[in-house]
Structure 1
Amino acid sequence: MDILYWIIIGIAFAISFIALVYPILPGVLFLAAGFIIYGFAFSFEPFTPFFIIVQVILFISLFIVDYVGNTYAVKKKGGSKAALWGSTIGLIAGPFVIPVAGILIGPFIGAVLAELLFQKKGLKAPVSIGIGTVLAFVGTTLIKVITQAIMIGYFYFQVL
């Protein structure tokens, strides 16, 4: 039975990384689910107050990185709230409309179309904003991969 629990925990952790590419999945919740499954299946004893504080800080940082990264990129490039919403919608829809490449093309197209439709700018500024959103997504995703790997590594360090 222990092997089955470890497989389920591993699947939860894997889904948390898949969610980085398919943002509609609640990746952080799958990460937390892996920890909770371990607690119920084995023991919550390894989860010291320090462990919990560190994990909560890292969980919160995952949300902050997502929000701040995209907002900063759009604002730095002179984009509007429409571009921010367009890139977010493109980020969610892109991977389903265009598998694999949609994760990068979706936010770009969303930001560009939103700026063109709602801000009535020429083509150069919306394209620059679209590129900025893609670069922000790539950067924040890299940070989130590293953060999640640290969280999982720290979890294994505590429990093994």
Structure 2
Amino acid sequence: MSVWGEVVVGLAIMIGLLGIIVPILPGVILIFGAILVWAIMTGGATAWIVFAVASVFLVISGVIKYTWPGRKMKEAGVSNRALFLGAILGIAGFFIIPVVGLFVGFVLGVYLSEYQRLKQGEPAWQTTKHALKGVGLSMLIELFGALLATGIWLIGAFVA
């Protein structure tokens, strides 16, 4: 692959990493796709091994991202209904309030659901904080897997 091709792949991976931090773009899908395109264009055993290892990192982090924080939120008493309502209001907030609407909508949705369920403000806020910690942990896990995949791609790009 040409140097410019690798620069474009690197930019796509960087945009994917930003998409994990600011959940507007499908970060992991962009990273996966960019490394796949690189492997196809580069060819050879090294490129396909890099793609396979990067894919394993992305899949493992994706599985852990949904299981570990979910279990921690369940232990803290966060209801599935609260997470669902938080997601719905987060999506709505994304379109209503530019930039911060996703975050504001999620927090509002979880809090309102928990307030309705618990009938008290302080316990609802405590549950909302646990939900925020779970979402933050989920993002960190996904980012860690994506950074490992990116590191493997960088090594492969220099070797291949």
Is TM (by shorter chain) over 0.5? Answer: yes
**Equivalences for residues 2-151 of structure 1 within 5 A:** 2-49=2-49, 51-102=50-101, 104-117=103-116, 119=117, 121-151=119-149
Using the TM superposition, give the Cα deviation of residue 31 of structure 1 relative to its aligned residue in structure 2, in angstroms: 0.6
Evaluate the alpha carbon distance shift between residue 101 and residue 110 of structure 1 in structure 2; reply closer, same or farther with a 3 A threshold: same
Q: Which runs of 5+ in 2 are unaligned?
A: none
Q: Measure the CA separation in 2 of the matches of 1:141 and 1:133.
A: 12
Using the TM superposition, give the Cα deviation of residue 152 of structure 1 relative to its aligned residue in structure 2, in angstroms: 0.7
Using the TM superposition, give the Cα deviation of residue 151 of structure 1 relative to its aligned residue in structure 2, in angstroms: 0.9
Q: Measure the CA separation in 1 of the matches of 2:11 and 2:31.
A: 10
Q: Which runs of 5+ in 1 are unaligned?
A: none
**Which has the bigger relative contact order, CA under 8 A and spacing at least 6?**
2
Using the TM superposition, give the Cα deviation of residue 104 of structure 1 relative to its aligned residue in structure 2, in angstroms: 4.0
Taking structure 2 as the reference length, what is the TM-score of the superposition? 0.78
Q: Give yes or no for contact 1:69–1:137 (8 Å, CA) kept in 2.
A: no
Q: Give yes or no for contact 2:16–2:27 (8 Å, CA) kept in 1.
A: yes
Taking structure 1 as the reference length, what is the TM-score of the superposition? 0.78
Q: Give yes or no for contact 1:74–1:83 (8 Å, CA) kept in 2.
A: no
Using the TM superposition, give the Cα deviation of residue 52 of structure 1 relative to its aligned residue in structure 2, in angstroms: 4.5
Evaluate the alpha carbon distance shift between residue 93 and residue 13 of structure 1 in structure 2; reply closer, same or farther with a 3 A threshold: farther
Per-residue CA deviations over 1:134-158 (Å, capped at 9, x if unaligned) read 1122222223222211111111112
Q: Give yes or no for contact 1:46–1:159 (8 Å, CA) kept in 2.
A: no
Which amino acid counterpart does residue 4 of structure 2 have in structure 1?
Answer: L
Which amino acid counterpart does residue 82 of structure 1 have in structure 2?
Answer: R
Is 2:150 aligned against 1:152?
yes
Give me the identity figure in percent: 22
